[in-house]
Amino acid sequence: MNLQAIRAIYLYEMARTFRTLTQSVVSPVLSTSLYFVVFGAAIGSRIQDVERVSYGAFIVPGLIMLTVLTQSVSNASFGIYFPRFIGTVYELLSAPVSHVEIVIGYVGAAATKSLIIGLIILATASFFVPLRIEHPIWMIAFLVLSCVSFSLFGFILGIWAKDFEQLQFVPLLVITPLVFLGGSFYSVSMLPPVWQTVTLFNPVLYLISGFRWSFYGAADVPVAVSLVCIFAFLLACLGVVWWMFKTGYRLKS
Amino acid sequence: MPSIVSIDGLSKTYASGFQALSDVSLEIGQGEILALLGPNGAGKTTLISIICGIVTPSAGRVAVGGHDVVTDFRAARRMIGLVPQELTLEPFETPMNTTRFSRGLFGRPRDDARIEAVLRELSLWDKRAAQNRTLSGGMKRRVLIAKALAHDPTVLFLDEPTAGVDVELRKEMWAVVEKLRARGVTIILTTHYIEEAEAIADRIAVINRGELLLVEEKARLMQRLGRKYLRIELQEPCAAIPAALGAYDLDRSQDGRFLSYAYDTQGPRTGITGLLNDLRDAGLTLRDVQTEQSTLEEIFVGLVKERS
């Protein structure tokens, strides 16, 4: 195991985060705070409690997930796409590092960054709404698992993308709708029966449901199902990454 | 000289069907400077890329320091530094950070004193905190060299180090190579300039269309490649070459207006003075004189013919 290489990649990527602090940390925190002001304070006060939780507090887990998922995907995809785009990927390919080390370095840094953002948003939320976390360990577990698995997904995207448009395409047109329709702002039970069934096909629903359960003890779907789903997604991503490196897909000819 | 890079039957056919290398075998000795000489698209970069792990070979084996570059890639790659052809640097990073990153990536513990020494050696220390994008082309090239040297490799690959570089920078680059040679680093560089190979290499490998045409000591090759032609335009056409000039083995153009004399630039005497004197004595009046050197392309054609 080339630990020095993992360390080098991880620190290099984290340094990029701190160099672009406004763009990487301040802006997601600010936009989430706006959601709290609008949905939590302004509109939320007119909406009745959902599952015995005030609406402002109810949307906190969903909002954290919204940011964590989109940030994980865009950070990790950019992290590996950028060296491919400017050509510095030659160094990664010619270095004495294995695929595992490259993935740990890049995905680890992207996941760390979204974890930090998620925790900052959680702290910010506590200023706006009364928060309650019933299962703190599960909360952290769900958060970390989401950060890691979606960073892996972003890494795949960054290797697959041929240009910046493709890089933007998935976070904007796939992740954001799935998170919005995955119950970030509502409980599935609030939907008409037909749409409740449709929603069950949205993988993000299981994530948000499990995460919200760790806060308030109530979930749209059983927690075990949520856990199975997220692990299945994680394994699927690992499988794809393994295949990409084995075949050199869009990395080596 | 013990061999440090050993290439055996290497072939590469890309997914497009293009065969970039066919059955290349080559031994590179420890501490030597080998120039891979060939026109654009000859397969030079592919050869380097396979050794460094960027391209997967279709057939054949490469070992660096006895370590197979595929099965024992960690040990092999630790010995290798690569300076790519394109100036690929992260625009917003600094020479200091990128060089430090390279050292870590190659598995060496952080050592700022070593990084400082490398940057100083390449006259980059003053620019260590500047953003890469603000550096000149020559400096960017040196940052790439610094990155390649950050982990103290024993074999350094320089892919077209002076392509698109002006004369002054080219000289500067050659000086850097000379310094590295003094430290005992084995250097393999690709180039399509004969002069570059001539200036810095110990041995020259000529490659064209994916085939290794020959590998020879520089001095011997230069003798073969160093032919020039003196083209003499006459004031009045001559019907035949005067017998007094028979020793020069001249070629006469069909209309008799031109005479051509082949000579060896590397030889002790070119025979030009004698020829010009004898031309005057033979009563021929010169209108114009020019010299031509056989181009690399012609040399390749000649080499291919020789082999078949």
Chain B contact set for A83 (CB, 8 A): 90
Joined tokens for residue A46: 């007119």
Residue B295: per-residue pLDDT: 62
- Label residue B268 by pLDDT band (50, 70, 90): confident
Whether pLDDT at B308 is above 60 = no
Residue A156: per-residue pLDDT: 96
User: What φ, ψ does residue B140 adopt, rounded to 5°?
Assistant: -60, -45
Residues B23 and B12 sit within 8 Å (Cβ to Cβ): no
- Taking the Cβ of residue B101 and every Cβ of chain A, the question of whether any pair is shorter than 8 Å is answered with yes
Residue B218: per-residue pLDDT: 83
Please state, for a pLDDT cut of 90, what percent of chain A lies above it: 59
Joined tokens for residue A25: 């940390």
Joined tokens for residue B122: 């390449």
Residue A19: per-residue pLDDT: 85
Average pLDDT on B39-62 reads: 93
Pick the more confident residue, B169 or A179: A179
Residue B133: per-residue pLDDT: 95
This prediction's pTM: 0.86
Q: Starting from the edge strand earliest in sequence, which strands make up the sheet with B155-159, in order?
A: B80-83, B155-159, B186-191, B33-37, B203-208, B211-217
Query: Mean pLDDT over all residues of chain B?
Result: 89
Residues whose CB is less than 8 angstroms from the CB of residue A241 and which lie 6 or more positions away in sequence, other chains included: A99, A103, A152, A155, A156
A234-250 pLDDT, tens digit per residue, is: 999 999 999 999 898 98
- Label residue B304 by pLDDT band (50, 70, 90): low
* Cβ distance of A253 and B106 shorter than 8 Å: no
CA distance A141 to B229: 79
Q: Is B63 helix (H, G, I), strand (E, B) or coil?
A: strand
Whether pLDDT at B248 is above 60 = yes
- Label residue A191 by pLDDT band (50, 70, 90): confident
B282-301 pLDDT, tens digit per residue, is: 888 999 999 887 665 666 66
Q: Which amino acid is present at B180?
A: L
B140-165 pLDDT, tens digit per residue, is: 999 999 999 999 999 999 999 887 77
CA distance A62 to A38: 15
Tokens 């190979």 -> residue: B197
Residue B307: per-residue pLDDT: 64
Whether pLDDT at A176 is above 90 = no
Chain A contact set for B80 (CB, 8 A): 94
CA distance A2 to chain B (A): 6
* Cβ distance of B105 and A97 shorter than 8 Å: yes
- Label residue A47 by pLDDT band (50, 70, 90): confident
What are the residues of chain A with a beta carbon less than 8 Å away from any beta carbon of chain B?
2, 4-5, 7-9, 11-12, 15, 19, 82-83, 86-88, 90-98, 248, 252-253
- Taking the Cβ of residue B77 and every Cβ of chain A, the question of whether any pair is shorter than 8 Å is answered with yes
CA distances from B78 to A101, B65, B155, B182 (A): 15, 10, 10, 21
